[in-house]
Amino acid sequence: MTGDSWREDRRALLGDDPAAESNAARLLSELGTEDRDDDAIEADHRSSRLAAVREYSPHARLDEELRLRLTGPDTGGGALRFQWGHAILHPIEAAVSAAAGTPVQLEVTGISAGSTVIHARPVAGQDVGEPGTFDAPVTSAASTGVATLTELLRALETGSDVREWAQFFDAVDSLSRALGKYRLDLGLTWYDADGGTRRATLTERGRRYVERLRQTRDRDQEITISGRITELRESGWVKVKAGVAKNAHAYDVRFEDPEELLRMRPGLGDNVHFRVRFRQRLDAVGIARSTEFTYLGRAAEQTTLPAEE
């Protein structure tokens, strides 16, 4: 008789018991059940493991991990297509870096099934300890960046105001375009060094909101530009440099009627004073997507009014 033979006998006995199934169901009902995904269960395991280790080493920390779950019509095989990786992974790294305020390098450590699940981590030697060690700083740059990124993704999914994250909106815009191109939804989970987790998604709902935020509106101002001409084109374009310093601002002024510029007979080095329409095309986040200066007429000599591009 083996040490496990009693279990086999018990299973055989219960297999003949007509009430076994109902008894098991009653027991589960009494204990209660939870509907949790694998990520939530693993987060609990990580926290429990860290708590146990800290009984012996109070400063112990876990390895950080970024888990990306791609879902869509073509993800059933659990494989990552090369074109997805090129289009999606770089914007994620760029967004994390911009949100962290410092370059953050990420590396893929594995791919698993369950749609397409990409496992990544910060590159060792930045501001985190080597894998398996416990000497990482309290909060890594990657953790700071991902924390801010998840806040933005949640705001996009709920259609909230995202202007406070304007500085790295373009990276998320690139990510959104790539996901839409390949009909993919993104689920992002971050496992931090203290056992905590952060989650966010970017689905079709969030992507549609990003698309609305890209729409621009014109904002016009009339300003005066004073300076000297450094370039001329017959097509109706002139560059005016405001000041003699090498880093003085230069304005590209467009003439809607090129003949008007020719009639002025300007020359390189001439001092000019132009009234111009300064037009900015702003998106809903407040980012200037383009600027242009259009000639309106001559102006009296005066100090240049600065215009932010």
pLDDT digits over 112-130, tens only? 877 899 999 999 876 544 4
Share of residues in the chain with pLDDT > 90 (%): 39
Residue whose structure tokens are 């001439």: 270
Average pLDDT, the chain: 81
* pLDDT of amino acid 98: 92
Please report which confidence band the pLDDT of residue 52 belongs to, taking 50, 70 and 90 as the band edges.
Answer: low
CB 68 within 8 A of CB 146: no
Q: What is the rounded distance in angstroms from the CA atom of residue 51 to the CA atom of residue 46?
A: 9
Which one is the CATH code of 216-298: 2.60.40.10, 2.40.340.10, 2.40.50.140, 2.60.40.2310? 2.40.50.140
Which ranges of the chain does DSSP label H, i.e. alpha helix? 5-15, 20-31, 38-54, 82-100, 141-158, 169-181, 204-214, 258-264
Question: How far, rounded to the nearest angstrom, does the alpha carbon of residue 281 sit from its chain's CA centroid?
Answer: 23
Helix (H, G, I), strand (E, B) or coil at 107: strand
Per residue in 23-49, pLDDT (tens digit) is 666 666 666 655 665 656 666 666 666
pLDDT exceeds 70 at position 136: no
Pairing of β 197-202 and β 216-233: unpaired
Q: What are phi and psi of 228, to 5 degrees?
A: -115, 150
* pLDDT of amino acid 246: 78
* pLDDT of amino acid 126: 61
Share of residues in the chain with pLDDT > 70 (%): 73
* pLDDT of amino acid 182: 95
* pLDDT of amino acid 87: 92
Q: Where in the chain is the domain with CATH 2.40.50.140?
A: 216-298
